[in-house]
Structure 1
Amino acid sequence: MNFPSLFSPLDAGPCHLKHRVVMAPLTRMRAARPSLAPRPLNAQYYTQRATPGGLLIAEASPVVASGFGNPGVPGIWSEAQVAGWRAVVDAVHARGGFIFLQLWHVGRVSHSSFQPGGALPVAPSAVAISTDFKAMTSDGKVAAYETPRALETAEIAGIIENFRTAARNAMDAGFDGVEIHGANGYLLEQFLQSRSNRRTDRYGGGIENRARLLLEVTQAAIDVWGANRVGVRLSPYGIANDSGEADPMPLYTHVVERLNPLGLAYLHVIEPRSSGAGRAEVNWQNVPSAMMLFRPIWKGVLIAAGGFTGEAANEAIAAGHADAVAFGRIFIANPDLPRRLQRGWPLNPYNRATFYGGEEAGYTDYPFYDEMAPA
Structure 2
Amino acid sequence: MKLRTLLLACGAALLANPLAAGLAHAETPAKLLFSAERQPSAGAPQSIGFYSNGCMAGAAELRPDGPNWQVMRLSRNRRYGQPAAVGLIQRLAGQAARAGIWPGLLVGDISQPRGGPMASGHASHQVGLDFDVWLRPMPSPRLTVEQRETYPFRSVLRKGTFSVDDRIWDDNYRDLIRLASEQPEVQRVFVNPGIKKKLCETAGRDRGWLSKVRPLYGHDEHFHVRLFCQPGSPGCKPQQAVGRGDGCDELDWWFDVALQPPPPGAKPPKPKPPLTLAGMPAACRPVLSAPDKGEAVAADSSSATPAGGGYADAYAPAAPQVPIPTSRPLR
Q: TM-score, normalised to structure 1's length?
A: 0.28
User: RCO (CA 8 Å, sep 6+): is it higher in 1 or 2?
Assistant: 2
Q: TM-score, normalised to structure 2's length?
A: 0.30
Largest Rg, 1 or 2: 2
